Structure 1
Amino acid sequence: MHQPVTDNPFVIMFINMVIVFAVLTVIWGLIELTHRLDPTKKKEEPPAAVSAAPVPPPAAPAAPAVPAGLSMETVAVIAAAVTACGYSVEQIHAIRPAEQPVWRNFGRTQGMRTAR
């Protein structure tokens, strides 16, 4: 009859782990070989000669479009709040009031329901 080589679970685990990592290493080697031999990979061009002309300073960010009803202080507060949320001033394209009649009507009805 056939006898098992070992009954120790740690030896069996070690053998299995060696097999798994050997297979992973072979797969990794095949992937690296594929990356090196890839015919569709674009060839890197040598860097162009850098001109000695000075780089102009970056232009100031454009001010967001301001509707006629908003003051510059309101725009500054909105821009500061948006910046505090993690966005930059360059990402603000326009500031315009959102038409939400549901909120307006809710405020009106709540105002009528309050006891005086």
Structure 2
Amino acid sequence: MSQPVTTNPLIIMLINMTVVFIVLVSLSLLIRLIHAFDPTRKKEAPAPVAAPAVTPVVAAAPVRASEPEGLSPEVVAAITAAVTLAGFSAGAIRTIRPLARDGWKNSGRALR
């Protein structure tokens, strides 16, 4: 057999790391190239030039939120909007009340 080129472990490490990173970069470029020329990707329809239609905002059913619990009208509106965007009607909300959770406090005490 022939003599090894080097026995220095640092040079061997640098050569190996260089090969690994070259392979990783080439795989990344290959993935980007495949993504750019993907024949199975759905073609995007061009957006119409006309002004977008404005959907009317439906007034939500009144939600009972009590101020002592710390729920401001902005928080109630945000929760109502999130529930409506999830596909439910605003009338599906009966009450909004925060849950009393002190799990983090108790878990910190349990470790001692």
TM-score w.r.t. the length of structure 2 is 0.54
Deviations 1:24-63 (A, max 9, x none): 122112211211221111112222113288x577455432
Larger of the two Rg values belongs to structure: 1
1:15 matched to 2:6? The reply is no
* Closer, same or farther: CA 52–2 of 1 in aligned 2, 3 Å: closer
Match of 2:71 among 67, 76, 80: 80
Alignment gaps of 5+ in structure 1: 65-71, 97-116
How far the C-alpha of 1:76 sits from its partner, in A, is 2.5
Q: Deviations along 1:50-83, whole A, 9 cap, x unmatched?
A: 3288x5774554322xxxxxxx5xx3335708x4
- Counterpart of 1:2 in structure 2 is 2
Provide the TM-score with structure 1 as the length reference.
Answer: 0.52
- Hey, what does 1:104 align to over in structure 2? none
Aligned length: 83
Percent identity between the two aligned chains? 39
Structure 2 runs not aligned, ≥5 long: 84-89, 97-112
Note the 1:1-116 alignment, pairs <5 A: 1-51=1-51, 55=54, 58-64=57-63, 75-77=65-67, 80=71, 83=75, 88-90=78-80, 91=83, 93-95=93-95
